[in-house]
Amino acid sequence: MDTKKIDSKIEEAAAKAKDVASTATAKAAEVASKATHAAADAAGKVEKMAKEGGQRFQKAVESVSHALEGVAAKAASAVQETAQKVANGAKSTAAKASEEASKRE
């Protein structure tokens, strides 16, 4: 293989890595959003039940509701953190590939 073909392959791999990073970030944001919405829906349903069940039950339900919101926030944060790590890794790989291609020119 000549260097132009190798450079082309490196550039293709770098472009694919950037695409994967973008896709991963978008999917992670979507998952985080869905988790947040699901937790909010669950909290709303629990609060509705609490209003129907009386004050004592309402306090217990509020506690559960807060716990659900906390879990959703932690899940969303973890998903975003993982997506950012994947994106950073892909960007780093793409940058290294581009740098390597530049050296060969």
Structural domain boundaries, residue 25: 3-104
pLDDT tens digits along 63-83: 888 888 888 788 878 888 887
Distance CA 43, CA 62 (A): 8
pLDDT tens digits along 33-63: 887 787 778 778 877 776 776 777 777 778 8
Does this model's pTM top 0.75? no
Burial class (CB in 10 A: 0-12, 13-18, 19+), 26: exposed
